[in-house]
Every structure is written in structure tokens, then in C-alpha cells.
Structure 1
Amino acid sequence: MTSFLHPESEFLRKIIGIIEENISNEEFGVSELAEKTNMSRSNLLRKVKKLSGLSVSVFIRQVRLYNAREMLKDDSVTVSEIAYRVGFNSTSYFTKCFREEFGYTPGEGKKVVEEKFDKPAKRENSVRKMGIVAAFILVAVIAVIYIYKFTDRGEPKVSYPEKTIAVLPFKNDSSDSTNIYFVNGLMEAILDNLQKIEDMEVTSRTSVEKYRGQTRTIPELSKELDVNYFVEGSGQKIGNRILLTIQLIDARKDKHIWSKRYERELEDIFSLQAEVARNIAFEIEAVITPVEEQRLEKIPTDNMVAYDYYLKGLEYTKAETSEGLEKALKNFRLAIEGDGRFAQAYAYVAICYYYMDIFQADKQYGLEINENADKALLYDSEAPESLIAKALFYMQDEQFELAVEYFEKVLEISPNSGWVHNFLSDIYASYIPNTEEYMSHAIQGIRAAIGEQDSATASITYLHLSNALAQTGFLKEAKTYVKKSLDYNPDNSYAVYLSIYIDLGETLDYEAGKKALLALLDEYPDRVDILQEAGKLYYFTKDYEESWKYYARFIALRERYNLDIYQPEDLKIGFVLENLGRKDEAQKYYDSFLEFARNDDSIYRNLSMGAYYAVTGDVEQGMANMKKMTDEENYIYWLVLFLDDDPILSMLSGHPDYQSTVESIKSNFWQEHDKMRKKLEAEGVI
């Protein structure tokens, strides 16, 4: 057996055993493993990722593959039989996965095993020589694979490069401009189907939408979007018939490599969408798994009138305005009237309500979001839209662990969803702080949605990556990406805000930082986030009068709009007030902070409690909690950066263990930083 199947981690050995007990069951996946281990999906995902560096779905697949390799030693079973024994319903998909993992096919591997174990010895030292022969055969096999894959053998079908693809906005061939919603709907449905195929990397819709109506060349688009293939399309609806033309372009050569004209009845629209996705996948040699094939074949509704309303609703959501959301809701409700089991329509009703509520202090639509999300799940529990709708309910309800579970389920079905990666970036940045997960989803968000140069969404995506890099101590690299964020949207004040902190992190020049932050505050005088940051910078420099000036404005806005935000600042606010001789007022904020800290489930809880005990004068308890912080990992650079300058924590500095504890916290961070550097270099991010 291999070392992969016998890891040092007792936990990994346990779950490998569970997977092996269910190895022939092709349906045994992440949810089933979580149930067997009595863990939530999110906790299982995090623990497996931490111990193995793999996602759970990839880990399960590797257990299947390593067991399959062991089975090759049994010459009484065929490759097809082995595939089914380890839970692959498709021999071709099994062969693809096996080759990607080990560098040769199962059939080639079986030949090596037969050479190694089945031939009798014919002379002395035969065992040693057979090992040499087997090694030679393996090298030869790899060489043959290399020649087969990467040399031109004069055959009509060649092996294509990395399967990165973008679907450009389709053209409306109809003279009726109102038809555009239908053509856009076709484009998005085909794009969604392609995103369900894990063997290709598909650029998001918003990444290419800005090119609608432009006349840039394919090489120019390829350079901007960093893809090897483009899909172009045009179509129209004439009565009950659909006319659609699709072209596939090799971006490297600026050459059309495949095109097809489709003519179908309107009632065949879903089979048409699936057929186009299959044809494109075939042309670039992307493997579609049996499960993915089932997803492509799924029909969302039999009611074409309902589907038409649904497409109109989707078109209205693109306006990203309150009026657009109201019009979208109207059409989604009409779609539901036509088909009361239309899961995607229910999902988008929930999604619209979420966005109508998102910036409101008093949420109004929680019930509507939840009810419609549940109906969507009832009628199609695997539709990405249904899962996103439920995740958004948990986002609105601040149950972020549950939101993560549903977003992760979406990525199992649509791994190329930049939208979902952005949501997960938000969660791991703000609600469940985890720098490693934040970085991972920020990178994947860029890959799924790269090229959105005129889009606010793209600017936020680059902002996430910059922030993730800054949080892990890569300030130089963070500066590069925050500049991109500002290039794509100069009005993104959050990028300006982050840029100020990146400069501060490099120089620790508090005066320059305060000056830049106050200049931004002049532009946005009622921004509570900037106000509390201004108060914080003056707190670090012990200018408590100026600190209170900005904290007071922050508190006034927080109370006026009944905002439950920035509770961790209450300890600093109380400390500032106490240093201004207003101890009675300070107590209110100390109490508020204590309530927050006791209920804090994040990695920062112990440090928060240590800081609380510091202001109460209980140095021993403060240090006891602060020491626990040394057991944590994946905390942010800003904690390390400001650790020496924090007036509250410095109240513990008289304790003999204080300095060694501070150094340990810093050392742990930089060790994680070095590990992250290797990952980022491997990913090509730095």
C-alpha cells in the first residue's frame, strides 16, 4: 500500500477507512462522508484541507485511485472491473483521472505490473533486474505518452492546450430588439452548462459582458481574458422555432476550429443547450463525467411560457437597481404562476429579496428569502440557484457556517462560479476570519471572473485578492492588485482605503496614514468604517482627544441607524474615554465588548478576552488568555503589525511572559507566511 493510504494523521486514516468501506458506491461523496464522521460539511472541508492540502471531493477521488492502483496487481480483473469496484461509473473518466494522478493509464500500469510480478526469473539477480526493466518500461511508457500528447503525428485531431474558455455575448439576429432577453438567456444557459464541467475552466458572464458590441480582435480578447478558446454565438426566436449558430475559436491561432447551425422547436430548448455544451466539450477534449451528464440533461420546467418569464426576469436583474429588482420579481412570480414547481424561479425570488434587503439596517424580507429558498430546494435540491438562495438566507440571518456549507455545495456542481467565490471571500474576510481560505477563494474568484475591466464586480474581486495578500503579509504584491482594483473602478473607495493601510504597513508612518485617511474621510464624511479607523489610528498614537473626536462621530451614526457593527472597537472606545477621565461612560463600552468577546467563536476570542482583562487590571488572566493565541493560526498581518503599539495590550507588558508571548505570536504568523508563499508561487500569484 502507498503512503497516501497510510498517512501519519489518525483523522485522515479514519476517513480513508470510511471511504474504503464505501468505495464501490459512486454516490458516496462529501455529504455522505460528513454524515459518517458526525461532522458538518464546513468543518470536514476545513480539517481535510488543513491536514492534506486537498478538498474533500479530491481526497475521496484520490483514495479511489490509489486503491485502484493496488488492484492492478490482480491480473484476474480488468480495468473496467476495477473502475466500477472503486466507484467510477465511467471507464473513460476513470482512465482520465488515473492518468492525471499517476502519469500513465490503468492499462499501461497493468502492463508494468504484469512485467514486474508475473514473469518468472531466468537468471541470477532477476528480482533486481526486473525492477530495472520495470523502471525502464515505466520511463518508456511516460515517453510514449509525452510523444503521443505533445508531438504532431499528422492526424486530423490534435490535443489542445489548457481547457480555458470564454463565452462571448451572443448576437441577436432578429430585427426585433425585444428578442435580446431570449438570446441572452440562451447564452447564459449554455455558459451555466459549461461551468458544470469540471474538466474545463470557464470565465464568468460578467467578465465578458463588457465586450458586447465591441470590435476587439480575438488575440486582444485572449490576452485580456487569459483563455485559449472562445465561443461566439448568434440566434433568434421565430415563432416557436429557435435558430442558433455557434462557433468555437482557437484563440492562439485566431482560427475557427468548429461551427454548427442549430434549428430546433422551442420545446427542445433545454436539450439544445445541453447539446451545445457537449459539442464544445468534445471539441476541446474535455471529459464530461456521468454525474455532470445528468446535470446537463436536467430540465428546469416543461412550461415554455414560464421559462420565457424567467428569462425576462434574469434580464431585469442585470440592471442592479431597485426598479430592476421589482421588475425581475414580477416576472419570476409570473413564471411560478405558470409552473408551481419551477425551482430556479423560486430561487431568484429569494435572491432578489436578498439584494433588496442587503443595505438596509432593518431587514424586512428574511421570511420571504427563506420560504422561497426552501421551495427552490424542495423542487430541485441540486440546482446551483437553489443552493445559492439558501446560502443567502443564512448570510442575511448571520449563520455564516451554514452559508459556507451551501456555497461549498454549489462549487461541487459549478466549480467555476466566480459569484460564489466572491461570497466565500466575504465570509472568510469578515465573518469567519481565516486568511488561508480567504486567499484561496480570492484567487479562484480572479480566475473565474478575470478581465472585468469596467466592472465594479471586477474591482471588488481584485480588492479581495489584494486584501487577502495584505492580511497574510504580502504587502508588495497586495499593492499590485489594489492598483488593478482602482484601475478597473477609480471610484472604489474601499480600494483607496486598503491602499492607505498597505502603505502604513510598509512604513508604519502613522502621521502619513492619518493624513491619507482623513483626506478620504473628507470625501465620505459619514462612512462609519473610515470614522472608526481614524479613531483607531489616533488610539495607537495615544492621542486620545483626537481619537474620541472620530469615535464620537462613529458612535452617533451607529446609534442613529441602529447598526450592529464594529463591536470589537468598543474596548478601545471605552479605553479612550477612561483616559479622558470619563470612566463611568467607559464602562458601558467595556460591558458591550465583554458580551461580544464571550460570544466570539473566531480565532481572536482569546486575544479579545486577554485585552479585556488588561483594562480591568487582571494581568494574570490577561496573559493566560493571550498565551492561548499562540495556538491559533491563519490570523491577519494587521494583528502582528500593531501588536507592539497597542496601548491596551501593553498594560500586560510587565508580566515576565509578555515579550516571549508576543514573539511567539509573531513567529507563528511568519511561519504561516512562508508556507503561504510557496503556495502562491505555485499558483503563479506572486
Structure 2
Amino acid sequence: MENAITNKFRQIILDHLDDDKFDVSHLASEMGWSKSHTFRKVRSITGVSANQFIKKTRLQEAAKLLSGTDLNASEVSYKVGFSSPSYFNKCFSKYYGITPGDYKIKKTETTSINDADLISASSRIRKFQYILYVLGTLLFIVGILSIFTGKKESQEISIAVLYFDDHSPESDIQWFCNGLTEEIIEKLAGINDLLVTSRTSVKQFRNSDLPIDEIAKALGVNYILESSVSKSKNSDSVRIITQLINLKDKHVWSNTYDESIENSLKLQNDVSKRIVEQLDITLSPEEKKNIDKYPTDHKEAYSLFLQADYQNSLFNKIAFKKAIPLYEQAIALDSSFIEAYMGLSEIWQIGGLVWGLYDEQEAWNNSKQLLLKARTIDSTNTQLEYNLHLGYFYYDWDFEAMEAYYQKRLTKSSFDNLTGVILDYGIKTGRYNEAYLINERYIKKSPKLSHLYTFKAEALMFLGKKDAALEVLERKNPLFSDDFYYLRSSTKLYFYLREHEKARDQLKKIRMNLPNDNPSILIWLDAVFARIDGENEMATFYLDQLMQLYDKHSSGSPAWFIALYYCYFEDYEKTFIWLQKSFDRHEVEMTWLREEPLLIPIRNDKRYMDLYHKIGFSKIE
């Protein structure tokens, strides 16, 4: 059976031999498996990783072509799916211990042997085959035993990059520490043979006193990069100490760097390369290019960008206000600095959505201009394409553009981490099963992303599986207790699942973590809970707050949430008054109209159907 599966693996690779883009994602798609299942299955059957098996198959076919055809080494490299002859030469030499050119010469110079030699050789081969058979049988038995005793080799190399600790006397360069951490995570995440824990997951261990081996086990990785930064007082020079530690808390590699803050670009590339060397990973030309890539050559622009990104990560109005001019200064110094455009665009885009920090249309207009400018710099940037369609859907209600993008993403054999609007769109257009299956694929690829579990619970809720939805939330609550995206979504889900006390608990956590932010969705929940408790005066107070936000043209969809308040308490006339106001104001939460559970009682009303068609849902039916 295993031989049959191995042969199938090999045949699929041979069918795509000259395709240099063929990778594990394509192999998984051809097998009809998930990427993670393919990783495990290939490792358990062949003893090597899926990427190594693909590379090994290519190299074996290369050897056949070198010895059996007139093709030179460069021609063979393209025939077997290597986009770079030099990279092919490196891999071939490492695998066979000889260069492709020398291998070809050696094979063509093989001399003939006489019949006696053939008989003697044949006898020796039969003896050797017998020995191999016996050894093979023994190894097979040992392999079977190892499966039953659970002694399996680790499936993939995985690493978590902990946030750099600021050990400076004044602790004033946390922005620098954050920037270094996240840039290294991004560079390592671009390596196929390395699984990298997301920055969201490692944030919970910032300044943690837990032993490294416990952190590694909690994150499910076999390596940890731990680092610290100290800056001399009244100086721009920093000392950075990095340590690569394995699951058993043993040091694999460490180094000390004395650099200026301006030279951090070079430093993060060097650390990434050292990690790759220590883990004995062979990089493809594209992966090497990604590590060597600098987001900008302008050191001052990069320093401003890191400071802006740090403020961005704090996610509040005060921090955003500080970040905007920093991003703008970075762009002024380097007009081709695409990451700065993207960061600034993200602030406007998110600030105009549910958190209600900026006027919706002003926010989207600012964001769109930045994204369109960035597209003239790099039209192939996937993050940019995702952010544009996020805006087209939430702000423009362009269902046709979003549907085309959604279908395009579904045809991709591998999913990246750009997930939110894809899953949200699937659920908001009634494709619960499809959204659930897509989300499961995302979870297998990125099991540490918090919002994937609220989407999973949401899909299960819409599929009528309340207990399963609650089980997901209960299991993940401790892990994401300070993640505002998770807390906001789980609060709403608990409310819809009629677990009011749990919704209140999550609401308290949000208030503790974000005391200065009070978006419409939270005020709406305060109003509903106050009226449920019989505190009508408090309910009116919160309702008035929402109406004041509406009068001020605040984003965060206040009219929508006022409509939900009235609908929950069965005042349907006022519900339609405020739904119409939400429509006229073009609020982003109107994209929920089709699937909003609280609106079920009014779905047969002509006024509801009129809004349904005007928003654009019928354009994709």
C-alpha cells in the first residue's frame, strides 16, 4: 500500500516535472488532501519531508537525463523544474556528491566489461540483493514497531520568534524591538521548509517568565529564537543578543551584535540567514531573495516606518494619530516604500470600520488612494489586492468585484494568511458549509490565528451546531484573552448563542484591554443588556449615545446597531427607520443584512427586500 502511495506521489511530480512552481500545495491538491496531511503522510512513508521528496525526485530524473541524453546541465535543470541552473548545480552536488557536469562525463566514460565480468558481477549483485532484502525486512519491522510505540520523527522544522526584550535603561526602544521581531518573522515565514508561529500567538509570551521549553510546547514548535536589545544612554548604538534554543532548552546558536539602530536592516537579514544555516535548510533562489530583500534602502525612512508600525500595533485612536505622520514622513523620504503605503492605508481602513475612529467614506477614500498608488509600484502584491477588495466589499458594497475575487481565491491550491474578508463574505452570502471548509484549511495552515476560531464558531452557529460552536470558544478563550479581534467577535457570538453571562464576561475583558475605545457595537450590547436587566434608564442612556454618534456622522455603523436594538425588542417600525438611515449613510455593517440573525422576523417584509436588492445581494444570485 505504501509503495503504491509513494509511486503516486512520484508520478504526480513527474507529470509536473518541468513546472518550477509545483510544490507541496500542488501535490496536496492533486492527492485531494490538506497540506498538513500531505506533510505528515509523505514524511511517514518516505522518511523525508514533502519538499525534500519533490526535490529528490527532480534530482533523480535529472541524473537519468544527464546520463541518457545529450542535454547539458543547464538544459536538464529547466527540464526537471529548477528555475536557476546555479541552484540546480548546488542541490545536485549536495545530493550526489558530484557536479552535474562531472556526473555526465563520468557516465559517458563507463567502459564495457566482458562476459566473465558480467557473470561475476551478477553473482555479487544477487548476494548483495539478498543482504539488502534481509536488512530491508528488519528495517521494515523496526519501522512498524516505531509507529506503534509512538516514536515518530518530528514532521517539520518549526520555530517561534519571541518578541525582542527592551533591556535599555529607559525602555524607550520598544518600537525598534517590535520592528526587528516582526521583520524576522516575515522573512522566515517565506521559507517552505520552515513552519513559523504567527506574531499574534507569540505576543502572549512577551515578558513571560515561563521556561523556554514550556513556551515551545505551548506553541507547538521545536525551536525558539529569544533576543534582547539594550541601548546605551544618549546613544544610537544598540547591543543585540540572539539565542536559538531547541525544544529541550539547549542552546543551538547565539550571537551578539553591536550596531547602530540605522543598521537594523542588515542585522535582521543576518539573523534570518544564521537561523536557516543552523537548521540546515537549503533555500530556493526565491526564498534567498526574500531574505536578502530590503523594504527600503533609506535608513531614516525605515526607522520612521518601524516607529509607525509600533504605534499601529497598539490599536487605539491616540496611537493611530501618532502613526499617521510617521508613515507620511517615511513615504516622503522614499516614495517607493510600499510597506509604508500599506501601513498607512491599514490605519485608515480599519479606523473607518467597526471601531468607528474616522468617518467611513473619508477613511476609505484615503485608504483607496494609498492602495492605488502602491499598486503602481507593485501590481503583484497579494496583501494589496486583498486590502483593495476588503474596501470594495465593506465600503463600496461592490458584490460583483468581491464575488470574482472570492471565486479566484477558491481556485488557489494554497491559501495564504489573508483570510478575514474571504470568510466574512462567504458567511454573509449564506455559504456556511463552504466558509467552514475554507476556514478549516486556513486553520491547518495557520493554527495560531485567533480570528479563525471565531469564524469557525460563527460558521458552526449558522449551521445550527450550537454546542460545537460553544466548545470552540471555550477551548480558545484562555489563549486569546487579550486579543481584541477575538474578544469582540466572541462577545457577539455568545450573545447570539444566548450565553449572556459569557458575553458580559468577554465585554468586561474588552473594557479592561481597551478602556479608551467605545465603538458602536459595544454600546449596543450595553444598551441591550441594560434593558434585559430592567434598567430602562441606563438602556436609554446607551441608546442616546448611539444616536449622538449617528448625528456626528461617526463610523462604526451606529444606525445599524440602533436598528438591531429595536428589532431585538420587536419594535419593527423603528427598526426599518434606522435600517433606512444605515443604508442612506452607507454603513459597512449593512453587509450583514442578508444573514443577520436578529433580522429574521422581518425578512418577508417588502421594505427588507427592497434594501436587500439595493445593497447588491441580488447581483450575485
Query: In the aligned structure 1, how far is the partner of 2:360 from the partner of 2:31?
Result: 41
Residue 223 of structure 1, CA deviation: 3.2
Task: Determine which of 590, 595, 599 is the counterpart of 2:618.
Answer: 599
C-alpha distance in 1, partners of 2:297/2:411? 26
1:555 maps to 576
SS at match of 2:173: helix
Aligned to 1:175: 169
Within-5 A mapping of 1:272-671: 272-359=267-354, 362-381=360-379, 386-387=384-385, 389-396=387-394, 397=396, 398=398, 399-401=401-403, 415=416, 417=417, 420-431=418-429, 433=431, 435-436=433-434, 438-441=436-439, 444-445=442-443, 448=446, 450=448, 458=450, 460-469=451-460, 477-487=468-478, 488-489=480-481, 492-497=490-495, 499-500=497-498, 522=532, 549=570, 551-562=572-583, 563=587, 564-568=590-594, 586-593=605-612, 599-601=618-620, 605=621
Deviations 1:477-504 (A, max 9, x none): 4332121344444773223135449xxx
Q: What is the identity, as a one-letter code, of the residue corresponding to 1:278?
A: K
| Letter paired with 1:549 | E
Equivalents in 2 of 1:177, 1:496: separation in Å? 39
1:247 equivalent to 2:266? Answer no
Counterpart of 1:667 in structure 2 is none
Q: Is the 8 A contact 1:548 1:577 kept in 2?
A: no
2: distance between equivalents of 1:138 and 1:340? 67
**CA displacement at 1:184 relative to structure 2:** 1.9
1:572–1:328 CA distance, 2 compared to 1 (3 A): closer
2:212 aligned residue (209, 214, 218): 218
TM-score of the superposition, structure 1-length normalised?
A: 0.58
* 1:204 pairs with one of 191, 195, 198: 198
Separation of aligned partners in 2, 1:466 and 1:235: 40
Q: Which residue, 217, 225, 229 being the options, matches 1:231?
A: 225
Instruction: Give the whole-Å Cα distance in 1 for the aligned partners of 2:411 and 2:324.
Output: 25
- Is the partner of 2:570 in helix, strand or coil? helix
- Report whether the alignment pairs 1:76 with 2:78: no
Q: SS at the partner of 1:549?
A: coil
2:160–2:216 contact (8 Å) kept in structure 1: no
Q: Tell me if structure 1 keeps the 8 A contact 2:161–2:225.
A: yes
Taking the aligned partners of 1:259 and 1:294, their CA distance within structure 2 comes to: 24
Instruction: Give, in whole Å, the separation in 1 of the partners of 2:131 and 2:566.
Output: 65
- In 1, Cα distance between equivalents of 2:208 and 2:64: 58
Question: Aligned letter for 1:76?
Answer: G
Seen in structure 2, the aligned counterparts of structure 1 residues 190 and 411 have a Cα distance that, compared at 3 Å, is farther
Give secondary structure in 2 for the equivalent of 1:365: helix
Whole-Å Cα distance in 2 between the matches of residues 474 and 139 of structure 1? Answer: 52
Deviation readout 1:113-167 (Å, 9 max, x if unpaired): xxxxx999x99xx9xx99x9699679949959x99xx9xxxxxxxx976322111
User: Separation in 2 of the partners of 1:137 and 1:493?
Assistant: 62
**8 Å CA contact 2:324, 2:344 repeated in 1:** yes
* Paired amino acid for 1:172: D
Contact 1:245 1:260 (C-alpha < 8 Å) held by counterparts: yes
Distance 2:68 2:131 in 1: 23
Q: 1:383 to 1:342 in 2, by over 3 A?
A: same
Amino acid at match of 2:428: S
Q: Note the residue ranges of structure 2 that are not aligned, 5 or more in a row.
A: 1-5, 39-50, 105-111, 147-152, 482-486, 500-527, 534-538, 544-557
Match of 1:91 among 80, 88, 93: 88
- Separation of aligned partners in 2, 1:423 and 1:577: 24
Report if aligned partners of 2:312, 2:320 keep a CA contact under 8 Å in 1. Answer: yes
Q: Residue 305 of structure 1: CA displacement?
A: 1.4
Alignment of 1:176-191 (within 5 A): 176-191=170-185
Could you say what the CA RMSD is over the residues aligned between the two structures, in angstroms? Answer: 5.4
| 1:5 CA drift (Å) | 9.7
User: What percent of counterpart residues are identical?
Assistant: 20
Shift in Å at residue 231 of structure 1?
0.8
Q: Is the 8 A contact 1:574 1:587 kept in 2?
A: no
Distance 1:136 1:311, change over 3 A: same
Distance 1:167 1:247 in 2: 10
Alignment CA distance shift 1:91-1:308 (3 Å): same
Give the C-alpha shift of residue 574 in structure 1: 10
Distance in 1 (alpha carbons) for counterparts of 2:405 and 2:230 = 39
Q: Secondary structure at the match of 1:260?
A: strand
Q: Secondary structure at the residue paired with 2:320?
A: helix
SS at 2:224's partner residue? strand
Quick one: which amino acid aligns to residue 568 of structure 1? R
Q: Distance in 1 between matches of 2:603 and 2:462?
A: 30
Structure 1 residue 166 corresponds to structure 2 residue 160: yes
Aligned-partner Cα distance in 2 for 1:178–1:410: 43
* Residues 4-15 of structure 1: pairs in structure 2 closer than 5 A: none
Q: Distance in 2 between matches of 1:142 and 1:380?
A: 56
Contact 2:564–2:575 (8 Å) recurs in 1: yes
State whether residues 388 and 407 of structure 1, in contact with CA within 8 Å, keep that contact through their aligned partners in structure 2.
no
**Residues 76 and 236 (structure 1), Cα distance of their counterparts in 2 relative to 1, 3 Å cut:** farther
Q: Whole-Å Cα distance in 1 between the matches of residues 447 and 603 of structure 2?
A: 46
1:386 to 1:484, Cα distance in 2 relative to 1, 3 A = same
1:362 CA displacement: 4.4
CA distance in 2, matches of 1:233, 1:566: 44
In 1, the alpha carbon distance for the partners of 2:413 and 2:182 equals: 18
Cα distance per residue 1:150-206 (max 9 Å; x no partner)? 9xxxxxxxx976322111121223223222211221122112111111211111222
Amino acid at match of 2:194: M
* Stretches of structure 1 lacking an aligned partner (at least 5 in a row): 8-12, 31-44, 100-105, 111-117, 151-158, 451-456, 502-517, 536-546, 579-585, 606-686
Contact 1:258 1:283 in 2 (8 A): yes
Contact 1:309 1:331 in 2 (8 A): yes
State the AA in 2 paired with 1:369.
S
Instruction: Tell me which amino acid in the other structure corresponds to 1:400.
Output: M
SS of alignment partner, residue 166 of structure 1: strand
Whole-angstrom CA distance in 2 between matches of 1:529 and 1:482: 24
Q: Give the length in aligned residue pairs.
A: 496
SS of aligned partner of 2:244: strand
Which structure's relative contact order is higher, taking Cα pairs within 8 Å and 6+ residues apart? 2
Is the contact made by 2:184 and 2:269 (CA closer than 8 Å) also made in structure 1? Answer: yes
Contact conserved, 1:463 with 1:482, CA < 8 A, in 2? yes
Preserved CA contact (<8 Å) 2:576 2:607: no
- CA gap of 1:268–1:404, structure 2 versus 1, over 3 A, is farther
1:38-69 deviation per Cα after TM superposition (whole angstroms, max 9, x unaligned): xxxxxxx99x95994578xx9xx999987876
